[in-house]
């Protein structure tokens, strides 16, 4: 082999090594930044509205004020029908969430009555909620809820992740109540909402929020649109409370891999340059 050929073959081996490093880095990055919301639905997609959520993308974070307002909407409106079993009061004070202070969390929990017991006489009793308690359910069981509402309201802890379309779906559902077209029959106790593909546009939940319904203390306009966004962001946090930590880890892994690729690049160059 001529000197030139040796140079060329070692260079191409070097290039393929580098390509290998790049491929490994790309795969690892793919894992780190795996999408947090399920893919869009086929059926109701035509009616989905897309919101530019602050928590989207590899560096997305929650908006603390939106989470706090969203909690207020959840508490004053949604929690009268829906449970949220997987969220505990103390979660409201944890980093990456609404970050209420310890005193605020205590006060929020104490506004709820929680069943506890049995006491020494064997009786169940009620006490004010504490940080360790999950949000209490408004109904004793699904049957009771269904009997009074026409259908059982699903637990909201994971609903954003459980529906195709994720946060866009929940936001769109809350903002798409309208009069039914003339050819659609809406049975008693039903409401028309084209986003609710599962029920062919007929949903047992009446429109839960409308303009001005919940008082906001931070001066944000309390329009239907704003409240729907805020409560959806709150429910997204409930479903994925560690999103910010995950994104931060993803960033650290990316920096590490870029540094590693750089070191390997120079190491490989050094090794191959020593050969001739």
Among 37, 87, 105, 209, binds ligand HEC (CB under 6 A): 209
Q: Where does residue 136 rank: exposed (0-12), middle (13-18), buried (19+ CB within 10 A)?
A: middle
211/228 Cα distance (integer angstroms): 10
**What sign for the dihedral angle of Cα 63, 66, 70, 71?**
positive
CB of 153 to ligand HEC, least distance (A): 4
Q: Is 154 among the residues that bind ligand HEC (CB under 6 A)?
A: yes
User: Which one of the spans 8-16, 27-35, 110-118, 166-174 is the region binding ligand HEC (CB under 6 A)?
Assistant: 166-174
159 binds ligand HEC (CB under 6 A): yes
Select the residue interacting with ligand HEC from 24, 28, 29, 77 (CB under 6 A). 77
Contact 157, 84 (CB under 8 A): yes
How near is the Cβ of 57 to ligand HEC at its closest, in Å? 23
Told to check if 81 binds ligand HEC by CB under 6 A, we report yes
> Do the Cβ atoms of 145 and 153 come closer than 8 Å?
yes
**Judged by CB under 6 A, which of 37, 67, 84, 203 binds ligand HEC?**
203
* Nearest distance in Å: CB 217, ligand HEC: 18
Between residue 228 and residue 257, which ones bind ligand HEC under the rule CB under 6 A? 231
Contact 80, 50 (CB under 8 A): no
Q: How far is CA 55 from CA 4, 16, 70, 115, 151, in A?
A: 53, 37, 14, 35, 31
List interacting residues with ligand HEC (CB under 6 A): 73, 77-78, 80-82, 149, 151, 153-154, 159, 163, 170, 173-174, 196, 198-199, 203-206, 208-209, 231
């Amino acid at each position: 082999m001529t000197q030139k050929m040796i140079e060329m073959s070692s260079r191409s081996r070097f290039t393929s090594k580098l390509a290998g490093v790049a491929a490994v880095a790309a795969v690892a990055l793919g894992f780190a930044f795996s999408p947090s919301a399920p893919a869009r639905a086929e059926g109701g997609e035509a009616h989905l509205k897309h919101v530019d959520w602050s928590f989207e993308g590899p560096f997305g974070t929650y908006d603390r004020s939106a989470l706090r307002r969203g909690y207020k909407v959840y508490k004053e409106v949604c929690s009268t029908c829906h449970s949220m079993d997987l969220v505990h009061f103390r979660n409201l004070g944890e980093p990456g969430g609404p970050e209420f202070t310890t005193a605020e969390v205590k006060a929020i929990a104490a506004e709820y009555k929680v069943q506890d017991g049995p006491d020494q006489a064997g009786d169940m009793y009620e006490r004010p909620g504490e940080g360790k308690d999950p949000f209490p359910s408004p109904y004793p069981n699904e049957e009771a809820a269904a009997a009074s509402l026409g259908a059982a309201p699903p637990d909201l802890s994971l609903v954003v992740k459980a529906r195709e379309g994720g946060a866009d779906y929940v936001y769109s559902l809350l903002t798409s109540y309208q009069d039914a077209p003339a050819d659609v029959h809406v049975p008693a106790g039903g409401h028309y909402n084209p986003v609710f593909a599962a029920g062919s546009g007929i949903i047992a939940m009446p429109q839960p929020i409308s303009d001005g319904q919940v008082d906001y203390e931070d001066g944000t306009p309390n329009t239907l649109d704003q409240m729907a966004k805020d409560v959806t962001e709150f429910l997204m946090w409930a479903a994925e409370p560690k999103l910010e930590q995950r994104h931060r880890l993803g960033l650290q892994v990316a920096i590490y891999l870029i540094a590693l690729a750089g070191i390997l690049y120079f190491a490989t160059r050094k090794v191959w340059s020593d050969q001739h």
